[in-house]
Amino acid sequence: MRNRLILLFFPFMAAYLIFLVLPIVRILTFNSFSFLIGDASSGILASIYYTYLIALAVAVISVLLALPYSFVMARRNTIPYRIADSLVEIPIMIPSTVVGIMILITFAPQMPVGSAIARVFPGYSFQDSLFAVIITLLFVSSAYSIRIVGVSYRQEILRYEEEAMTLGVSDARSFLLLSVPMLIKPMARGIVLSWARAISAVGSLLIVAYYIFPSFTQLAGVFIYSQFLGGGLPDAAASSSILIITGIIAMALLRAMGGRNAAVY
Amino acid sequence: MQLSIRGLRYRRGNFTLSIDELDLPSGKHFIMGQNGSGKTTLLKNVCGILRPDSGRILLDGVPSEGRKSWERHVAYIPQDLLLFPGMSVEKNLLFPIRHAGGSMDIFHDMVESMGLKDILQRRADQISGGQAQRVAVARAIISAPSLLLMDEPLSMQDQSARIWILSRLDDLMKKYSFSIIYVTHDQSDLDFGYDSVTFMNAGRITESVSSLDQLHQETSASMLHYGNMVRINGSHYLAGDESISFSDSGGYGYRWWKSLDYNVLLASIDGEEYFIKTSRMPDGKYLVLNPELMKPLEHESILQEGQ
């Protein structure tokens, strides 16, 4: 019976994988290798470098926020907390450009929150700043870390902490000595997903930070979009290929690091 | 440690744990009940993992409301043991010593008495189920509790290991002055002595007795393998030696065998088969039960309606 089901389901699985792989193969083979080498000097490598670095910083911030968030939410199950918890997923369903607009009308210096920040930090500007990029990417990508860390903590790890507490170990020690090490693997998974989501953000950045001043750096998604508008498909496809190749390598490295760090004892 | 519970209510979803009154003095106490009867929920409320919606849990007469679980001196061994994964057995055992008030003397004693010496350096998630249960029991006792809550922690032990650990528990209880509340499905665990057995059903305590002879609930008796519970003409009774006799002329058909120091009868009564434990030696073709000398058992549902 099981073998028959495998035979039945296999074509669907294979079709889905082909559906995923085909566009990747297509873009990697769209241009010649020499064209890719030539495109590398277009500025895409620097853009990718900054993109990965900023996305990594945002992913790390997301995971660091996920720790206290998960700690509180795992211990509170009342309706207000559950409603608050459901807010986490809202950024995922909001179109990226809308996120950009939301962030802009919240944090721009002439807006209420922005003007409050400006009072504390004179000379504060938001649009096209690194701060704007980080805030925007944090908004769109933090939900992944929060959810992965939160679910792992609540469903798999908390009970070990509770068990340690019945052995006389305080809540703080139980959390730090047991839960945090056990959370490293979910945190690494959270970093990978938040990082990947932050890299893929384009629409919100087009509104909030087309360039990042004062370096005039463009993040990769925006860079490729502007290439597409200015130079056409071949240039944009070549930069996309480089982004995908480096992305696969970076993802593999992050996953490998996550796997090693999971064995903490 | 003496445990007292007054008006405890804990509700989650469709399940409600509701315990009006329970007093368990220092000693070894068993809790029996069907799956879902609330045994684990009760233990988790006592050790502080869960917080009751209302009511009081008193430990040695002191209300536990304001005390965190690590301040209660109530160690809990769950069914899934929860040995800390990735750590060695030794680190698991040392954890309550390094980070709480556990005792190094008890550590040495437990390593010796639970036969853990050879597996100390092995990872806790790479030992057998039976070994893991012994480690969990040892770790809990090393934490020097006043009350040890055991949620069927010996289910994976073979009979001889189970007997060995249970007999050791009695010694350890006396040596290190802690009480035990032990949840079990296995009546043979009671063979090592107990101060009380509490029966639970549907989130409530149906009865708490200091001797199985005091049982008067059908639901309680039905949890015992050789509960001596029989149903005659729609009524449940508890058959004792005094109500049992044998005859060659009439009665109920039966088979029997000897088990340890008693005889087990498998009797066919009104189309059902019942196990009856007796010290009487079968000496007739048929089993005769005298209803007047048997203890009638009440139905909990009737009792609830009456209440």
CATH number at residue B121: 3.40.50.300
Please indicate, yes or no, if residue A2 is contained in any of the structural domains: no
Are A182 and B85 an interchain contact pair (Cβ–Cβ within 8 Å)?
Answer: yes
* For residue B289, pLDDT beyond 70: yes
Please indicate, yes or no, if residue A4 is contained in any of the structural domains: no
| Contact (CB, 8 A) for B178 and B147 | yes
CA distance B95 to B70: 13
- Minimum CA–CA partner of A175 in chain B: B99
Nearest to B17 by CA among B202, B209, B208: B202
Please indicate, yes or no, if residue A119 is contained in any of the structural domains: yes
Bridge partner list, B76? B149
Shortest Cα distance from A73 to chain B (angstroms)? 15
Strand runs (DSSP E) across chain A, as ranges? none
Please indicate, yes or no, if residue A134 is contained in any of the structural domains: yes
CATH number at residue A244: 1.10.3720.10
For residues B40 and B177, membership in a common domain is answered with yes
From residue A17, alpha-carbon distances to A8, A12, B97 in Å are 16, 9, 52
The answer to whether B164 contacts chain A (CB < 8 Å) is no
Strand runs (DSSP E) across B167-284, as ranges? 179-183, 196-201, 204-209, 229-232, 235-238, 244-247, 254-259, 262-269, 272-278
CA distance B175 to B106: 10
Nearest to B99 by CA among A168, A193, A199, A244: A168
| pLDDT value at residue B13 | 86
Are B100 and A168 an interchain contact pair (Cβ–Cβ within 8 Å)?
Answer: yes
Please write the tens of the pLDDT for every residue from A166-202.
Answer: 999 999 999 999 999 999 989 988 998 999 999 988 8
For residues B58 and B201, membership in a common domain is answered with yes
* Averaged pLDDT of chain B: 87
CA distance A136 to A20: 28
Among B180, B208, B236, the domain-final residue is: B208
Rounded average pLDDT over B14-19: 94
For residues B161 and B248, membership in a common domain is answered with no
Which phi and psi angles does A129 have, rounded to 5°?
-105, 160
| pLDDT value at residue B301 | 41
For residues B26 and B149, membership in a common domain is answered with yes
User: For residue B236, what pLDDT band results from cuts at 50, 70 and 90?
Assistant: confident
| pLDDT value at residue B258 | 79
CA distance A81 to A83: 5
- Domain of B259? 217-306
* For residue B245, pLDDT beyond 80: yes
The residue among A157, A166, A265 with the most chain B CBs within 10 A of its CB, best to mutate, is A166
- Hey, what amino acid is at A112? P
Rounded average pLDDT over B43-67: 92
Which pairs with CB-CB distance under 8 Å and at least 24 residues apart come from A155-164? A156/A182, A157/A182, A157/A183, A158/A74, A159/B78, A159/B82, A160/B82, A160/B84, A160/B85, A162/B49, A162/B69, A163/B76, A163/B78, A163/B82, A164/B84, A164/B95, A164/B96, A164/B99
Percentages of chain B per state (helix, strand, coil), in multiples of 5: 30, 35, 35
Shortest Cα distance from A257 to chain B (angstroms)? 17
Please indicate, yes or no, if residue A38 is contained in any of the structural domains: no
- Domain of A162? 43-262
| pLDDT value at residue B151 | 93
Which B-chain residues 18-47 have CB contacts (< 8 A) with chain A?
A: 47
For residues B83 and B196, membership in a common domain is answered with yes
Among B208, B234, B251, the domain-final residue is: B208
For residues B137 and B229, membership in a common domain is answered with no
| pLDDT value at residue A1 | 59
Chain B residues within 8 A of A75 when measuring between CB atoms = none
For residues B280 and B193, membership in a common domain is answered with no
Please indicate, yes or no, if residue A89 is contained in any of the structural domains: yes
Contacts of A111 (CB under 8 A, 6+ apart): A104, A105
Kindly report which listed range (A100-109, B56-65, B237-246, B258-267) carries the lowest average pLDDT score: B258-267
User: For residue B226, what pLDDT band results from cuts at 50, 70 and 90?
Assistant: low
Please indicate, yes or no, if residue A18 is contained in any of the structural domains: no
Please indicate, yes or no, if residue A241 is contained in any of the structural domains: yes
| Strand order from edge to edge, sheet including B54-59 | B15-24, B3-12, B54-59, B62-63
Which B-chain residues 130-149 have CB contacts (< 8 A) with chain A?
A: 139-140, 143-145, 149
Rounded average pLDDT over B269-283: 85
Which among A163, A170, A173 is the nearest to B78, CB-wise? A163
For residues B223 and B202, membership in a common domain is answered with no
Rounded average pLDDT over B267-279: 83
Which phi and psi angles does B25 have, rounded to 5°?
-70, 175
- The alpha carbon of residue B48 and the mean position of all alpha carbons in its chain are separated, in whole angstroms, by 20
Which A-chain residues 165-204 have CB contacts (< 8 A) with chain B?
A: 165-171, 173-174, 177-178, 181-182
Among B157, B183, B208, the domain-final residue is: B208
Please write the tens of the pLDDT for every residue from A117-148.
Answer: 999 999 899 999 999 999 999 999 999 999 99
Please write the tens of the pLDDT for every residue from A49-86.
Answer: 999 999 999 999 999 999 999 999 998 888 899 899 99
For residues B125 and B56, membership in a common domain is answered with yes
The number of domains in chain B is: 2
The number of domains in chain A is: 1
Rounded average pLDDT over B118-129: 92
Nearest to A44 by CA among A181, A197, A225, A243: A243
| pLDDT value at residue A257 | 67
For residues B171 and B132, membership in a common domain is answered with yes
Please write the tens of the pLDDT for every residue from A205-257.
Answer: 999 998 888 778 889 999 999 999 998 899 999 999 999 998 888 878 766 76
Is the pTM of the predicted complex or chain greater than 0.90? no
The answer to whether A164 contacts chain B (CB < 8 Å) is yes
For residues B160 and B28, membership in a common domain is answered with yes
Considering A255-259, B116-120, B217-221, the range whose residues carry the highest mean pLDDT is: B116-120
| Contact (CB, 8 A) for B90 and B53 | no
The answer to whether B86 contacts chain A (CB < 8 Å) is yes
Shortest Cα distance from B40 to chain A (angstroms)? 14
* For residue B91, pLDDT beyond 70: yes
Chain A residues within 8 A of B70 when measuring between CB atoms = 165-171, 174
The DSSP string of A89-122 is GHHHHS-HHHHHHHHHHHHSTTSHHHHHHHHHST
| pLDDT value at residue A2 | 63
Percentage of chain B surpassing pLDDT 70?
A: 94
CA distance B32 to B208: 10
**ipTM for the complex shown:** 0.78
